[in-house]
Each structure stands twice: as C-alpha cells, then as structure tokens.
Amino acid sequence: MTNRRLFLAAGLAAAIASPAFAQQTAPVPAKLSTEQQALLDKATAYIQGLSSAKGRFVQTDARGTQTTGTLYLQRPGKARFAYDPPAGLLVVSNGNNVNIFDSRLKTFQSYPLSKTPLNLLLAREVRLDRGVTITDIRPLADGFTIVAQDARRQALGRISIDFSNAPMGLMGWTITDLKGGTTRVRLSEFVETSDLDPALFVLTDPRRKVGKP
C-alpha cells in the first residue's frame, strides 16, 4: 500500500511510524497561557468522557480529493471508518491494532494502535499533557484547535484536532506528514450513542480462506 493510500485510510489512523521520523528534531512544546491551558483541560475532559459515538466524515487529501464515509467510535481503543463506494476502504481499530482492508487493491495491513495518532483519541486514560507535545493551541471562529506531536516520536507527522465550544464537541482533525502534505477529516452528525454492535470493531483479513492459516 502506498503512502498516499495509507493517509487515505482514515487520515488519522494510518499515519504510521517510519525510520525517517527518527531523523526529525524533537517537537518544541508551546508555552501555554492560562486560557490555552483551560482549553487543553476542557478538550481532555471531553475526550475522556466520550464513550460511544457515530457520525459522518468527509476526508480531503493533499491533492484535494474528497472521500466520505461513516465513523463509529467506542472508547477505549475501538473505531471503525467505513468509506463509501467507490473508495473500497475499511479501517478498524480493535483496541490493539488498526487493520486496513482495501477491497479494490485486495490488500490487508495491520499496525499497532499505539503507533498511530488515533491513539490520542482512543487511549483508556487521555492525558494530552503526557506522551504528546502540544505545539500550539489556537482559537477558531466556533471553537479551538490543538496541535500535537507524539513526544516519543512513534507516530508520523503531527495532528491538529478541532473542537467546537458550544456545545463542546469534536469537529475533526488534520494530519500533516513530514513532507508537509495534509489529510483533513471533517465530522458531521457526530453524536453519542449506546447501541453500537461489537462486531463493528472486528476486522480479519477477508482474503484468508476458512481452515487455512
């Protein structure tokens, strides 16, 4: 699977570690004002309190190509990005791994959840002041953005997470790779729910035949 397909695959979920990342300088943490720290605490509390949710997403890659789909989220650890046809992509985090199946290319890839920025949203204990470096917190017209990078440099690039203020909510995120390319995901109709089927978060390699390893 090419790097472009990896970033297409959920935008956030597939920013996978690579040897090139180790050559980058460590991120510089922002000196947060009292107001910025309050926003960081607010976002952390929101994510920590989020259990199950679903919604629609629109993803725009570095070339301006848009894809759409449905997102299912169940914290901790689980998420499903079901892309609408003709994208042919299905991305599922089962709590340990992020599995990506491309029905058009007939490929199946699996990556540790801990090595993707998706882990920032799905960790059992959300601590945006630990494990990641906050490089900026800036206001939006209707909310604010938190820019973060993995302090241990396991995850590729950086992530900017957008939140709304009233009501407090997750609006989307932008992944920026090491070359400056961006993949933007915007959420709509994102609401909490309590009736998600556990089977949504199970994805095995569909190419494997039953009874064969």
CATH homologous superfamily, domain 3-17+28-191 = Lipoprotein localisation LolA/LolB/LppX (2.50.20.10)
Range 33-65 burial, b when 16+ CB lie within 10 A, else e: eeebeebbeebbebbbebeebbbebebbbbeee
Distance separating alpha carbons of residues 71 and 192, to the nearest angstrom:
12
pLDDT recorded at residue 176: 81
For residue range 13-53, list pLDDT tens digits in order.
Answer: 444 333 333 335 667 788 999 999 999 999 999 998 999 99
Distance separating alpha carbons of residues 154 and 189, to the nearest angstrom:
31
- 5 pLDDT more than 50: no
**Residue 132 CB coordination number (10 Å):** 22
Share of residues in the chain with pLDDT > 90 (%): 41
Domain spans in the chain, listed from the N-terminal domain onward: 3-17+28-191
- 157-186: average pLDDT: 86
Question: Are 199 and 25 a contacting pair, CB within 8 Å?
Answer: no
Tell whether pTM > 0.85.
no
Q: Angle CA(153)–CA(118)–CA(120) in degrees, nearest 5?
A: 70
Identify the CA nearest to 11 among candidates 206, 161, 204.
161
For residue range 176-206, list pLDDT tens digits in order.
Answer: 877 777 888 999 999 999 889 999 999 988 8
Residue with tokens 């090491």: 178
Single-letter residue type at 147: V
Distance separating alpha carbons of residues 71 and 55, to the nearest angstrom:
5
